[in-house]
Structure 1
Amino acid sequence: MWLFLLFLLVPLIEIALFIQVGGWIGLWPTLAIVVATAIAGTLLVRSQGSEALLRLRRSFDELRDPTEPLAHGAMILFSGALLLTPGFFTDTVGFLLLVPQVRAFLLRRIRERIRVHTVGGPGDWQAPRGPARPRDDVIEGDYSVEDTPPRDGPSGWTRH
């Protein structure tokens, strides 16, 4: 239900803001602001996205948990989508998501709401008890290696 309200309210807010700003400064300056914010947002998203990718690579190289750089990258990506969407409200939210402190705050809030349950972690493993039993699913057999010349054509698995 909240998603429906979001898809309903955001365009209504954008339309109201376009009417208000267009009435104050006129049509062409309003359109110029929309285009300028899209260009500025694209440049900022590009630079912050490359920094987030660098932090992600560093976390992989140092064998650290990559969830924080991944979350920041996802928020930067979402910010870029909002900044490319014409409108003042979406631009404001998009520019806010480009502020690292805002992203860190949102990430803390998201972590508070997520519960992680692990199954089969290091504490769950137990050594087998008692003597080793013979396995019933072992099939014994003999094999021989045949020397066949290499083929230059297609594999034997397909027919052409």
Structure 2
Amino acid sequence: MTSGASSPTYPARPRRSRLRTLLPLGVAAWLVLEIWLLLLVADAAGGLAVFLLLVAGLVGGAAVVKRAGRRAFANLSESLQRGAPPQSGGANGLTMLAGLLIMLPGLLSDVVGLLLLVPPVQKAVSAYTERTIDRKLRAAVPGALGDAFQQARMRQPDGKVVPGEVVRDDGPGNPHDADGDRPPLTG
């Protein structure tokens, strides 16, 4: 053993976010609650009733996802025919999420999915999500995606782009230069 050798120091690991810590616990609690509710229903109504509930959820959720997908495709094709930028797909996205939650086996996910199909709940969830995303993008480090999204939002809403090229003639004799000897631009 040598006393002169020092052990390498490692940089401090970044702290785990609260979401990364609590999400696995939340998913595990959700699964336990779903199984417990299915067992309660099976005990009260029988196994066949639980099976029929699960099949109905699968078929109903698939129908909701299919309807939302068709509506999103119709909105996209209509906006492309008009030559306008596509409209926001927030409502269709939440409807698809609701359909996926209904398709998941479990009663609690069915209730949450059915709640997402109610228009006032959809509007509230959509507004909350938009505010949260906007706040996170504003808090992003400058030069990251936050700036790109902010710049994209500043463009004209009609989406018109005029192609062209800017040619500057900064030499002497420029008709826009009054005295003919402008100092060079420094960077």
Runs of 4+ in structure 1 over 6 Å off: 127-130
**Percent of paired sites with the same residue:** 24
Give yes or no for the alignment of 1:104 onto 2:128: no
| 1:131 aligned onto 2:170 | yes
Change in 2 beyond 3 A, CA 1:93/1:40: same
Structure number with greater CO (CA < 8 Å, separation at least 6) is: 1
Alignment of 1:87-102 (within 5 A): 87-102=106-121
Report if the CA contact (8 A) 1:41-1:95 is conserved. no
Q: Distance in 2 between matches of 1:2 and 1:61?
A: 46
User: What are the Cα deviations for residues 77-128 of structure 1, in whole angstroms up to 9, with x where unaligned?
Assistant: 3233222221111112222223343222211011111225424856xxxx89
Query: Structure 2 vs 1, CA of residues 61 and 83 (structure 1 numbering), >3 Å: closer, same or farther?
Result: same
Which AA in structure 1 matches 2:96? L
Q: Does 1:46 align with 2:85?
A: no
TM-score (norm 1): 0.64
1:65 CA displacement = 5.4
Q: Unpaired segments of 5 or more residues in structure 2?
A: 1-20, 138-146, 156-165, 173-187
Q: Which secondary structure does the structure 2 equivalent of 1:114 belong to? A: helix
Letter in 2 for 1:55: N
Distance, in Å, in 1 between the alignment partners of 2:57 and 2:51 is 10
For the Cα contact (< 8 Å) 2:102–2:109, is it kept in 1? yes
- Alignment partner, residue 76 of structure 1: 95
Q: How does 1:15-30 map to 2 (within 5 A)?
A: 15-30=35-50
Q: Tell me if structure 1 keeps the 8 A contact 2:63–2:99.
A: no
Instruction: Write the deviation string for residues 30-62 of structure 1: whole angstroms up to 9, x where unpaired.
Output: 211111121122122212321232223334444
User: CA RMSD of the aligned region, Å?
Assistant: 3.0
Query: By how many angstroms is 1:129 displaced?
Result: 8.2
How many residue pairs get aligned? The number is 128
Letter in 1 for 2:170: P
- TM-score of the two chains, using structure 2 as the length reference: 0.56
Distance 1:48 1:9 in 2: 30
Contact 1:52–1:73 at 8 Å: present in 2 too? yes
